Structure 1
Amino acid sequence: MFRRPEIFEQFTNLVAAETTRHGGVSEKPYTSLNLGLYSGDKKETIIQNRRILYDALGIGERRVAHSRQTHSDEVVVATRGKTFQGYDALVSNRKGVFLSVTVADCTPILIYDPVKQAVGAVHAGWRGTVRQITAKALQKMQEEFGTRPENCFAYVGTCIDEKNFEVGIEVADEFKPDFKRFDDERQKYLIDLKKANLSQLLDCGVPIENIQVSQYSTILNNDDYYSFRKEKGNTGRFTTIIGIQPE
């Protein structure tokens, strides 16, 4: 049903997870733990899947903050569980508030500041990545909570892998040379979203030893993760979630 990033295992009061596509009630093509309300699946099924997940994590559904994501670079401070509109990153320092982003090829990033007891969850597609949304989420944590990046731990989650993220010149031109390469055989550019978002964390000052990058790919590990590209848009969404349990 979900995997817990190893980088966060040392923090016993922290809930942090990345779901797979297993353990829910959705029927094909959304089989089975589809958590995306705007994926085309039945709303009541998504709500049931979310309840299954939240029960497994030991959190209440009213404590979860979501956003209807728009591939923006906007960051919202969540002080309670609710659904926002138009934000692709959420941050909070409220215990008992759990931040969630949904993905199906885009990059999810989770951030934890154990000193200021603050968390962040980021949805970074190629547009958000280019607009530095991961860095902006960290900056918002600095401004709002006094977070220092050198104290933070982070997880760069499962997304489309570099070898399968083919783009045209118009998208490739948006990326720095470090994060793209031209494949002569396919006559396409290939983009490394994990590397680009990892770079933002490092540039902000998060130590490399405090960062875990997922070994999985939505394309190569499609049996476990939803992929919008591989499944031609007819698929579900998985979730990354993070929050601090009240003592």
Structure 2
Amino acid sequence: MTSYHIPAIFSDFSDLIAAESTRHGGVSPAPFLSLNLGINTNDEPDSVNENRRRFFLSLGIDDVDRRFASSHQVHGMEVLYATEAGRFDGYDALITDKPGLFVGVTVADCTPILIYDKANRAVAAIHAGWRGTSGEIVAKTLITMEQQFGTSAANCYAYVGTCIDECSFEVGPEVAERFAPEFVQKDAQTLKDCVNLKAANRQQLIRFGVPSTQIEVSSFSTVLNNDIFFSYRAENGQTGRMLAIIGIKAIIGIKS
């Protein structure tokens, strides 16, 4: 099986690289089997580094330490304008307009959102769990892009990536009440509330003005498709992490 999925919404942009990883194609043993890209796991660091090297190289990106910006995510609302590679701390969204610099987020049930502003050649990678989603981190990121790059909604293309599905994401009432009723449903058997993270994040894109025809929502679920993707909930916390990345190609170090 392939080690990554390319969102179709970005297929017309030859100078863009955007992808989300799967759990296949790596060297990690169980329970991180096999393409664990998460640094903050109990997996062997050498295995994670090799997995990351393989993932980025499969996308045509070499010298990843000089080309990738990420952050230790804290389920917060802070947005980083990345101008150089590195691992930062405290940000759950990263934006950049620097060619050859890629931004990304790690997930294993939370929602990854990738955005491309074709007019300003700027990108965003967003990590949205229930806290980030209810706090509208997607909207905040878009506003930050508007302020930083002059981004307008009409020029944006977005991918709401693979995460836990609405049938599997049972939450308590204290979480459910943070979401509009349209994003909450009762499980017919357990009568517990379930939240639709994909729909809630998609709605933030639409409210900003991104045309619905320029938004793609993943048809996969980390829980229902656990053979393809890692799921923190389905695997009781002992599992790997996927990466969702995006960036503009540069001539040096990026293969066509």
- TM tier, shorter chain? over 0.9
1:199 pairs with 2:203: yes
1:4 pairs with 2:9: no
The residue that corresponds to 1:36 in the other structure is: 38
Of the three residues 81, 87, 94, the one matched with 1:90 is: 94
Shift of 1:55: 1.0
Of the three residues 144, 149, 154, the one matched with 1:150 is: 154
Mapped to 2, the partners of 1:209 and 1:128 lie a distance apart of 24
SS at match of 1:227: coil
Mapped to 1, the partners of 2:116 and 2:187 lie a distance apart of 36
- Residue ranges of structure 1 left out of the alignment (5+ in a row): none
> What is the TM-score of this pair, normalised by structure 1?
0.98
Mapped to 1, the partners of 2:150 and 2:205 lie a distance apart of 17
The residue that corresponds to 1:51 in the other structure is: 53
Alignment-mate amino acid for residue 57 of structure 1: L
The residue that corresponds to 1:187 in the other structure is: 191
Of the three residues 211, 234, 237, the one matched with 2:238 is: 234
Shift of 1:105: 0.2
SS at match of 1:220: coil
Mapped to 2, the partners of 1:34 and 1:110 lie a distance apart of 20
Mapped to 1, the partners of 2:22 and 2:188 lie a distance apart of 34
1:117-173, CA deviations, whole angstroms, 9 ceiling, x for partnerless residues?
A: 000000000000011001111111100001101110000000000001001111111
Of the three residues 58, 63, 77, the one matched with 2:81 is: 77
Mapped to 2, the partners of 1:39 and 1:175 lie a distance apart of 30
The residue that corresponds to 1:68 in the other structure is: 72
Mapped to 1, the partners of 2:42 and 2:217 lie a distance apart of 30
The residue that corresponds to 2:254 in the other structure is: none
SS at match of 1:16: strand
SS at match of 1:234: coil
Shift of 1:40: 1.4
Alignment-mate amino acid for residue 197 of structure 2: L
Mapped to 1, the partners of 2:41 and 2:200 lie a distance apart of 26
Superposition pairs of residues 95-174 of structure 1, within 5 angstroms: 95-174=99-178
> What is the TM-score of this pair, normalised by structure 2?
0.95
Shift of 1:184: 4.5
1:34-61, CA deviations, whole angstroms, 9 ceiling, x for partnerless residues?
A: 0000121111111111111111111131
Q: Is the Cα–Cα contact under 8 Å of residues 93 and 124 in structure 2 kept in the other structure?
A: yes
Query: What RMSD over aligned residues (CA atoms) do the two structures have, in Å?
Result: 0.8
Mapped to 2, the partners of 1:184 and 1:22 lie a distance apart of 34
Shift of 1:187: 2.2
Mapped to 1, the partners of 2:210 and 2:44 lie a distance apart of 40
Mapped to 1, the partners of 2:31 and 2:39 lie a distance apart of 15
**Runs of at least 4 residues of structure 1 off by over 4 A?**
none
Aligned residues: 247
